[in-house]
Amino acid sequence: MEIDPILLEKIQGENHEFKNLYREHTALKNRVEELNNLKFLSTEQELEKKTIQKQKLKSKDRMIQILEEYQPSPK
4: left (phi over 0), alpha (psi -120 to 50) or beta: beta
Residue 44 inside a domain? The answer is: yes
Torsion angle, alpha carbons of 14, 2, 39, 31, to 10: 0
In this prediction, residue 75 carries a pLDDT of: 56
In terms of residue numbers, what domain contains 13?
Answer: 5-70
What global pTM score does this model have? 0.81
Cα angle 28, 29, 32; round to 5: 85
For residues 45 and 35, the answer to whether their CB atoms sit within 8 Å is: yes
Give the pLDDT of residue 5.
Answer: 83
The answer to the question of residue 75 being in a domain is: no
First to last CA, the chain: 26
* Averaged pLDDT, groups of 10, the chain, 75 residues long: 80 94 96 96 97 96 91 65
In this structure, is residue 34 part of a structural domain?
A: yes
pLDDT of residue 23: 95
Give me the number of domains the chain comprises: 1
